[in-house]
Structure 1
Amino acid sequence: MKRFNSYHSLNVSRLSLTQWEFPTHKHNFYELIFIEKGIGTHVLNELSFGYKAGDVFLLRPEDAHYFKIGKPTDFIFLRFNEQLFIEKLEGGKTAKWMEVIKTLLQNPSAINGSLVTDATDQKHLQSLLHILLIEFTKTCVYSREVVLELFGAVMMMVARSQSITQYGEQCPSNLELDRLNQVLGYIRLNALDAEKMRIENIAAHFAMSANYISIYVKKHSQVSIQQHIIQTKLKSAEQLLKNGRQNINEIALKLGFTDASHFNKMYKKYKGLSPSLARQLN
């Protein structure tokens, strides 16, 4: 009997057929088959099942099957193996999910308009949310787990859309984005430590040269590391001004500006008003 092999942890494909072109076969992977349209018969382990649009079949590696197509049929195939389960349950993935959620919630861009601007992403997100609305009302076994997975899919889609909006066609790979987020996270964490905010010290923390980290951040975020540092410092300055416990000179010194004059100049350039006026308005 023919055996089809795949060595990818996950493979997703779509196929439109008027006639089934493959012999009875088994796989070395699991396979979920969704029928988008069409009618016919699915022969699975020598048992016959009629199929129609919306039907779903799940095959194990030891299952033998083929289709008899009655009317032109569109199939969606999800093929996966045990490696996908390991990847899904890997501790680092959970940590990454939490990091994505935290970044989304803390990102100032969340208040600057729609997080998703791509029309296709908007359509897909709407579909996911419709499903989530329905599943949220269900109380059957696994319903809560389905809701959590759908929520994760929604948040990841928003995060991906944000990444594409920020980086455009040069959207970095997961590995590059992880490193970039580590650098930017370090900057946010140490905004009130003037010494740690020096570019050479940031570079040393990540075992890079000052020149390389500057090129790296600019390449993957389209914004220079110096601009990231300034914007982060000014964000911290806003909070310090609101607190009102320190005067302008003390805030300038704390954030590592040359002096109060330099702080005033940079704050006015990026915020459109002086620090003293910003404090009065708060």
Structure 2
Amino acid sequence: MQRFNSYYSLNVFALELDKWDFPEHKHNFYEIIFVEKGTGDHILNDARMPYEAGDVFILRPEDGHYFEIKEFTKFIFLKFNEQLFTEKLAGSKTAKWLETTQTLLQTASTINGNIVKDEVDKIHLHYLFQILLREFSNNCAYSRELLLELFGGVMMLLARAQSTVQFGLECPSNTEIDKLSQILSFTRMHALNPEKMKIDNIASQFNMSPNYISIYVKKHSGQSIQQHIIQTKIKTASQLLKNGRYNINEIALKLGFSDASHFNKIYKKYTGASPKQK
């Protein structure tokens, strides 16, 4: 499958099309697509879903997609990579924005199709994307700073929309959202500590029973806590493999797998490739 590359931390542009002439492709960046007008189908990872004006889709680098346009469509694209996170957080006193954004991106695939259901949120996002598009073309004072803040606003609106879908019709409280973010952040921080990554110990850290924390995380993220733990370990393993300092046996031990064979099996299940192929 073809891969489209971009080497800018942030890129914003619009396309007006009556026919989608691009092949199915992946990216080396994250992408948020806002449909300003038009209808058709979005084929994402071989799943077909209809789109209409106001819909928003979040794509990860590994997602393959293309569109089939039925009615003349205007798309606004917001493309970015992890370098933007560093720029956005420069001088920040809190990691909450980063935690919320990482949680949004890691769990976005648990919601099929359009992520925004609330009509008012769709209107707000429409305005934000219009401003982003205009400011991205400006060379005026503070345009870059404004872009970063607008980007943060888009991500927070999407995080709220995602949590609303996950929590039901009523918008969840900040306390509930914060607790989920804290739990997932804890697993990322302690990926190399097998003892702390046990569900019993995670539950104890947040004054929950193992059974309740499992139900809580599944309800509010769409995935079980065990899935989050494994995905965090696999992501950490990929980083260690790229680093080259440890062999597969050492990585398996550091991440708490019973042996290298078990690690190889789980790694291939989640990535589609053997760790030896990295």
- Scaled to the shorter chain, the TM-score interval is 0.5 to 0.7
Partner of 1:276: 276
Deviations 1:190-215 (CA, angstroms, capped at 9, x unpaired): 11111111111112212222222222
Q: Is the 8 A contact 2:115 2:158 kept in 1?
A: no
| 1:262 CA displacement | 1.1
Partner of 1:129: 129
The answer to whether 1:224 aligns with 2:227 is no
Partner of 1:192: 192
Distance 1:228 1:173, change over 3 A: same
Distance 1:259 1:168, change over 3 A: farther
Matches within 5 A, 1:1-282: 99-104=96-101, 107-108=105-106, 117-118=115-116, 120=119, 121-131=121-131, 152-164=152-164, 169=169, 172-277=172-277, 279=278
Q: Where does structure 2 lack aligned partners over 5 or more consecutive residues?
A: 1-91
| 1:149 CA displacement | 6.7
Tell me which amino acid in the other structure corresponds to 1:223. Q
> Aligned equivalents of 1:239 and 1:143: distance in 2?
35
- Tell me the SS of whatever aligns to 1:196: coil
Distance 1:223 1:169, change over 3 A: farther
Distance 1:138 1:251, change over 3 A: closer
| 1:227 CA displacement | 1.1
| 1:237 CA displacement | 0.8
Deviations 1:44-87 (CA, angstroms, capped at 9, x unpaired): xxxxxxxxxxxxxxxxxxxxxxxxxxxxxxxxxxxxxxxxxxxx
Tell me which amino acid in the other structure corresponds to 1:177. I
Q: Is the 8 A contact 1:172 1:220 kept in 2?
A: no
Q: How many residues align?
A: 183
Please report the TM-score for the alignment, with normalisation by the length of structure 1: 0.52
| 1:150 CA displacement | 5.2
Tell me which amino acid in the other structure corresponds to 2:185. G
Tell me which amino acid in the other structure corresponds to 2:195. E
Based on CA coordinates, which of the two structures has the bigger radius of gyration? Answer: 1
| 1:168 CA displacement | 5.5
> Aligned equivalents of 1:170 and 1:261: distance in 2?
45
Deviations 1:206-248 (CA, angstroms, capped at 9, x unpaired): 2222222222222222321111111110111111111122111
Tell me which amino acid in the other structure corresponds to 1:118. V
Distance 1:115 1:188, change over 3 A: farther
Partner of 1:63: none
Distance 1:222 1:111, change over 3 A: closer
Report 1 or 2 for greater relative contact order, CA contacts < 8 Å, sequence distance ≥ 6: 2
Distance 1:170 1:250, change over 3 A: farther
Deviations 1:150-182 (CA, angstroms, capped at 9, x unpaired): 555433212223334555647643211111111
Tell me which amino acid in the other structure corresponds to 1:186. F
Q: Is the 8 A contact 2:99 2:181 kept in 1?
A: no
- The two structures, once aligned, show a CA RMSD in angstroms of 3.8
| 1:126 CA displacement | 2.1
Partner of 2:11: none
Q: Is the 8 A contact 1:191 1:197 kept in 2?
A: yes
Q: Is the 8 A contact 2:199 2:210 kept in 1?
A: yes
Tell me which amino acid in the other structure corresponds to 1:103. T
> Aligned equivalents of 2:112 and 2:218: distance in 1?
25
> Aligned equivalents of 1:189 and 1:174: distance in 2?
22
